[in-house]
Amino acid sequence: MANPSLLILAGDGIGPEVMAEVKKIIGWMGARRGILFDVSEDLVGGCAYDAHGTPLTDATMAKAQAVDAVLLGAVGGPKYDKLDFSVKPERGLLRLRKEMDLFSNLRPAQCFDALADFSSLKKDVVSGLDIVIVRELTSGVYFGEPRGIFKEGNERVGINTQRYTESEIARVAKSAFELARKRNNKVCSMEKANVMESGILWREVVQEVHDRDYPDVELSHMYADAGAMQLCRWPKQFDVIVTDNLFGDLLSDMAAMLTGSLGMLPSASLGAPMASGRPKALYEPVHGSAPDIAGQGKANPIACILSFAMALRYSFDLGDEATRVERGGGKGAGRRLAHRRSDGSRRRHPGHHRPDGRRGSGGTGRQPLSAGSRGPDRLVTQM
Ligand code: IPM
Ligand code: MG
């Protein structure tokens, strides 16, 4: 039987350097555990624009549709800020999400013990935190029509449209309920039903799906602004949060920072099952391309490594291998980051850590899990 196939799209900024660490793990798994992947690589984002004048070529899109899973690093950078909207690096990522129909974006936020001190919240509020935001990823205001900048009289008007069909809401709700059943059986749905019709429909459909198929799961509803407040106040009240594309974008960045660093969070974007039975899938860290630290060997690859672990779990049914990789990531966070408190003072000097779980000789060369100099919230920054 052919090996499962992976397409690596490392992208821009710190994408290639964090992905380099994942490639080492893939190599290690083949050599040491006999788990082999057919890996191909291609361009997405600014680097694809530089090479081809488009952030995602049709050929790359076709490859992404054909493989078992896509691993993506990051897209974007200041170099591309002035480009026409239609060819901005982000459009490449959005095209992948839309054309692969990756409607369910799982963004887990777990607080590693070693990082609890780095959260901007009190340690007891975040330690042991383990929640997942399920973000709808293929619809809503990101894709709704009409959209554009139009002339109205003698001024311009910018228009975007929040649009959700019942079936779009129902399928992401179902994925959230399924996930909750494997966890603590609780879903909180967030929208703005107090001001948006799409929010009213969202709330109704989530409730209907629940009552029909998932009555055993505890369901609550919150307005997204109150949800943001509750995420800061007492995030451990949540298990699974399901929300739309835009609110999910905002709330997942916030949930990420609760854990001490945006640089720690992986994500899985899943669609319908393919002929193989595997879901269409793209895995990517939540952090952006962090152009300010790109190329300096400072970027923390944990989020990208944990995204690969999610691929092992959700695409390849290799849960034990995923746990092995995740444990390595957690230890890495501890060893590399625990030496600085949130006030910047030193606690202890950690050994150098390699993603294969062994300790390096220290001090020389580029360290894969380098903490940088100003605490973990400086490791990667959002684009
Ligand atoms: C994310 C990012 C993307 C988004 C950008 C890069 C288009 O912020 O994945 O959260 O807004 O979805
Ligand atoms: Mg975002």
DSSP annotation of 362 reads -
Q: Which of 93, 137, 282 to mutate to test the pocket of ligand 1 (most atoms within 8 A of CB)?
A: 93
Q: Helix, strand, or coil here: 305?
A: helix
Query: Ligand 2 centroid vs 349 CA: distance in angstroms?
Result: 33
- Residue 288 tokens read as 């952006």
Strand ranges (DSSP E) for the chain? 5-11, 38-42, 69-74, 104-110, 130-136, 148-152, 155-159, 186-191, 218-223, 240-243, 268-273, 279-283
Residue 69's DSSP bridge partners are 6
Which secondary-structure segment (H or E) carries 211? helix 197-213
Q: Nearest to residue 17, comparing CAs of 263, 297, 332, 288?
A: 297
Query: Ligand 1 centroid vs 142 CA: distance in angstroms?
Result: 10
Cα distance between residue 337 and residue 137, in whole Å: 32
One CATH from 3.40.718.10, 3.40.50.2300, 3.40.50.2000, 3.30.1490.20 for 1-111+260-383? 3.40.718.10
One CATH from 3.40.718.10, 2.60.120.1030, 3.10.180.10, 3.30.2020.10 for 130-258? 3.40.718.10
Query: Ligand 1 centroid vs 347 CA: distance in angstroms?
Result: 34
CA distances from 283 to 108, 222, 314 (A): 12, 28, 10
Is the pLDDT higher at 9 or at 328? 9
Catalytic residue among 80, 142, 214, 283: 142
Q: What is the per-residue pLDDT for 364?
A: 27
Cα distance between residue 122 and residue 118, in whole Å: 9
Is the pLDDT higher at 271 or at 116? 271
As a dihedral over the C-alpha atoms of residue 184, residue 357, residue 74, residue 26, rounded to 10 degrees, the angle is: -100
| Pairing status of strand 104-110 against strand 130-136 | antiparallel
Of 72-86, 250-264, 294-308, which range is least confident? 250-264
Total-model pTM? 0.85
Q: What is the per-residue pLDDT for 262?
A: 74
Q: What is the per-residue pLDDT for 337?
A: 43
Q: What is the per-residue pLDDT for 117?
A: 86
Residues 196-219 have pLDDT tens digits of 999 999 999 999 999 999 999 999
Q: Is 192 a catalytic residue?
A: yes
Are both 1-111+260-383 and 130-258 of the same fold? yes
- Residue 60 tokens read as 């790359």
Catalytic residue among 101, 130, 213, 253: 253
Q: Is the pLDDT of residue 380 over 50?
A: no
Q: Is 38 a catalytic residue?
A: no
CA distances from 218 to 59, 211, 214, 234, 240 (A): 44, 11, 9, 18, 10
Catalytic residue among 12, 80, 192, 298: 192
Amino acid, res. 332: G
Residues 314-373 have pLDDT tens digits of 999 999 999 999 888 656 554 444 333 333 333 333 322 333 333 222 222 222 233 332
| Pairing status of strand 268-273 against strand 104-110 | antiparallel
Closest ligand to residue 138's CA:
1
SS (H, E, C) 163-199: CCCHHHHHHHHHHHHHHHHCCCCEEEEEECCCCCHHH
- Locus of tokens 């691929």: 311
Cα distance between residue 329 and residue 309, in whole Å: 10
Instruction: Name residues contacting ligand 1 (CB within 6 A).
Output: 90, 93-94, 249
* Long-range Cβ pairs for the range 343-350 (8 Å, 24+): 344/374, 344/375
Closest ligand to residue 267's CA:
1
**Domain residue spans of the chain:** 1-111+260-383, 130-258
Amino acid, res. 221: H
Query: Ligand 1 centroid vs 194 CA: distance in angstroms?
Result: 26
Closest ligand to residue 245's CA:
1
